[in-house]
């Protein structure tokens, strides 16, 4: 993985129309099941405010809002936020914002960071900055929900080469582990032009997150391993879902 890329890989890739083509078949029903189970577990009040960090086009935010909550979504991708803003209403708002930077203080009852929207940065201080900003945005007693891949299982089951044809575009995808990052290289041609993008996600494990959380006095109250919210198992779980409370 190349160091100090300008702009960062996520700024290029997440604002590309090809990102949304490649992932257009994501399972929205699975995302909604996760939200339903989360609400059942944590039982937020209807007056609670939610902040969705790294909201993309807002699929989780929009569904949370449909469930009756006041929701704010933030993302660095201007194009994703432009799309999300078409769904805004009095209790649903979206902003272009870097999740490493403070958004509001002691304002939200719940902050969520979903679908591995973390671990993008070269420097550990940037990962810590995300958790710091999330914690400061929470009211005392509020919850931070972080949904990440189970890195150990992801590495053991890494599909090193695959091809997908979507909307007539043949995506060639390779995955490697480099310097504790899972690096996905995406190559394709469209209208005679060749493209290459990367996704680089740090292979963080529970111990890493415990360190980030402890620095903010965030107390981990639940560990779950999938969107059914079954208990986390380091060897078998697909996800690492951490639910922490701000003291």
The answer to whether 175 and 1 have CB atoms below 8 angstroms apart is: no
User: Token digits for 111?
Assistant: 């902050």
Burial class (CB in 10 A: 0-12, 13-18, 19+), 32: middle
The answer to whether 243 and 206 have CB atoms below 8 angstroms apart is: no
Residue 3 has pLDDT above 50, yes or no: no
The answer to whether 99 and 74 have CB atoms below 8 angstroms apart is: yes
SS3 103: coil
Query: Do the bridges between strand 218-224 and strand 239-246 make them parallel or antiparallel, or are there none, so unpaired?
Result: antiparallel
Average pLDDT over residues 177-195: 95
> What pLDDT band is residue 36 in, cutting at 50, 70 and 90?
very high
Query: For position 96, what pLDDT does the model report?
Result: 97
Single out the residue of 141, 163, 153 nearest to residue 22, CA to CA.
163
Report d(CA 38, CA 146) in Å as an integer: 12
Question: Is the torsion defined by CA of 124, 208, 178, 146 positive or negative?
Answer: negative
Q: What mean pLDDT value characterizes the chain?
A: 93
Query: For position 7, what pLDDT does the model report?
Result: 67
Residue 1 has pLDDT above 50, yes or no: no
Average pLDDT over residues 150-169: 91
Report d(CA 49, CA 20) in Å as an integer: 28
Give the bridge partners for 147, in sequence order: 241
Q: Give the tens place of pLDDT for each residue, 56-95.
A: 999 999 999 999 999 999 999 999 999 999 999 999 999 9
Residue 193 has pLDDT above 60, yes or no: yes
> What pLDDT band is residue 4 in, cutting at 50, 70 and 90?
very low
Question: Is the torsion defined by CA of 172, 60, 157, 12 positive or negative?
Answer: positive
Question: Is the torsion defined by CA of 180, 101, 9, 218 positive or negative?
Answer: positive
Angle, CA 18 vertex, CA 12 and CA 20 arms, to 5°: 100
Q: Name the phi and psi angles at 59, rounded to 5.
A: -60, -40
**In the chain, where the domains are located:** 29-150+203-246
CATH superfamily, domain at 29-150+203-246:
Vaccinia Virus protein VP39 (3.40.50.150)
Residue 246 has pLDDT above 50, yes or no: yes
pTM of the predicted model, to two decimals? 0.90
Average pLDDT over residues 146-175: 92
Query: For position 197, what pLDDT does the model report?
Result: 95
How long a stretch of residues is the chain? 247
């Amino acid at each position: 993985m190349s160091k100090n890329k300008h702009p960062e890989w996520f700024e290029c890739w997440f604002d590309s129309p090809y990102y949304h083509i490649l992932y257009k078949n994501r399972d929205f029903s699975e995302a909604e099941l996760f939200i339903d189970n989360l609400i059942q577990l944590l039982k937020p009040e209807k007056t609670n405010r939610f902040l969705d960090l790294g909201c993309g086009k807002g699929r989780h935010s929009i569904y949370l809002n449909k469930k009756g909550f006041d929701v704010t979504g933030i993302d660095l991708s201007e194009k994703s936020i432009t799309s999300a803003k078409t769904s805004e209403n009095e209790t649903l708002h979206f902003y272009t914002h870097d999740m490493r930077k403070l958004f509001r203080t002691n304002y939200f009852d719940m902050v969520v960071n979903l679908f591995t929207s973390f671990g993008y940065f070269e420097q550990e201080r940037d990962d810590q900055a995300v958790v710091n900003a999330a914690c400061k945005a929470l009211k005392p007693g509020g919850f931070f929900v972080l949904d990440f891949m189970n890195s150990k299982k992801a590495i053991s089951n890494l599909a090193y080469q695959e091809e997908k044809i979507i909307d007539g575009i043949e995506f060639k995808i390779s995955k490697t582990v480099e310097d504790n990052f899972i690096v996905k290289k995406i190559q394709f041609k469209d209208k005679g032009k060749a493209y290459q993008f990367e996704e680089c996600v740090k292979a963080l494990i529970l111990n890493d997150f415990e360190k980030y959380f402890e620095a903010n006095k965030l107390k981990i109250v639940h560990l779950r391993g999938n969107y059914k919210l079954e208990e986390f198992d380091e060897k078998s779980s697909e996800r690492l879902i951490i639910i922490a409370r701000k003291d």
